Amino acid sequence: LKRIMREREEEEHAVRGYETQLTCRDGTRRTILWYDVSREHPIPGWSQWKFGVDLTERKDMEAQLDRLNAVGEMAASIAHEIRNPMTTVRGFLQFLYETHEHEIDREYFPIMIEELDRANEIITEYLSIACNKAIELQKHNLNSIIQALYPIMLADAMLSEKNIDLKLSEIPPILGDHTELRQLIINLVRNGLEAMATKGTVHIRTFAKKDQVILEVEDEGVGISPQHLAQIYNPFFTTKENGTGLGLSVCYSIATRHGAEWSVDSQPGKTIFSIRFPVAEAVATG
């Protein structure tokens, strides 16, 4: 089939493939690209024959990236206009906090400042969603980044009587943006911590396999239901009471910008996010 498809691309008179939607027995819809090769490769006794290529996953991926880019571009266009007045308000709150006239209300100022900072963090996450965002790629070792973040992640875990477990194997460097790689790791770990109701451990593993560096983040939570599994990367989708629905969308976008492959394996009591980065040498020679 690969040979036939290549021949059809090379032949000027070849009829291009066409797409159709098929409904499977289980009710799911699949997108199929059909090629009619009856003329170029006739079969005795057959008036017509075609073969189809399932494009469903590819179409879903393209739609997902389009949605992420749309949200990211929208955020970039309004972030500057929102941040300017927020910075001014925050500055005045800090000034008023120090004045004697507002001593009676002093306890409320940190709350207001904290909420402004939280809003600013959400804007930053919006900006991280765009898959076509420009990033600065340099050689980094994931283990070094994880070890630098470990005290922060452990402190975050201990607040809810949880734990962080590291199993870092020797790995080669990858090409990446240091800030984005930090954000990816922190978001995945926080997502794992929030998935566990009480106690539990988030396991962080790194190892090398062929031309890839694999990062795995595993939690001991309730797992992700099958109906939610396909939606977890959609911006604003969340099952958490106070969630923004941006954490995993940001992670997915960062992985995409770094040319990494992404997968998730979830069942009751365990969810594993796996991100497979190409090693720096493989990218350079590729």
Task: Say if residues 50 and 111 touch (Cβ distance below 8 Å).
Answer: no
Burial bucket for residue 174 (CB in 10 Å: 0-12, 13-18, 19+): buried
Q: Could you state, in order of their start, the residue ranges of all structural domains in the chain?
A: 2-54, 60-129, 138-285
Q: Which residue has the higher pLDDT, 2 or 81?
A: 81
Give residues with Cβ within 8 angstroms of 244, minimum separation 6: 122, 125, 236, 238
DSSP strand pairing (174-176 vs 138-140)? antiparallel
Question: Which CATH superfamily is 138-285 part of?
Answer: Histidine kinase-like ATPase, C-terminal domain (3.30.565.10)
Q: What is the pLDDT of residue 15?
A: 47
Backbone angles phi, psi at 84, to 5 degrees: -60, -55
Least confident of 11-15, 75-79, 272-276: 11-15
Q: Among 15, 14, 111, 131, which Cα is nearest to 62's?
A: 131
Q: What is the three-state SS of the chain?
A: CHHHHHHHHHCCCCCCCEEEEEECCCCCEEEEEEEECCCCCCCCCCCCCEEEEECHHHHHHHHHHHHHHHHHHHHHHHHHHHHHHHHHHHHHHHHHHCCHHHHHHHHHHHHHHHHHHHHHHHHHHHHHHCCCCCCCCEEECHHHHHHHHHHHHHHHHHCCCCEEEEEECCCCCEEECHHHHHHHHHHHHHHHHHHCCCCCEEEEEEEEECCEEEEEEEECCCCCCHHHHCCCCCCCCCCCCCCCCCHHHHHHHHHHHCCCEEEEEEECCEEEEEEEEEEHHHHHHC
pLDDT in tens, 201-243: 999 999 999 899 999 999 998 888 877 777 666 665 565 655 5
Q: What is the pLDDT of residue 268?
A: 86
pLDDT in tens, 36-93: 766 666 777 666 667 777 877 777 767 766 666 666 666 666 666 777 788 888 898 8
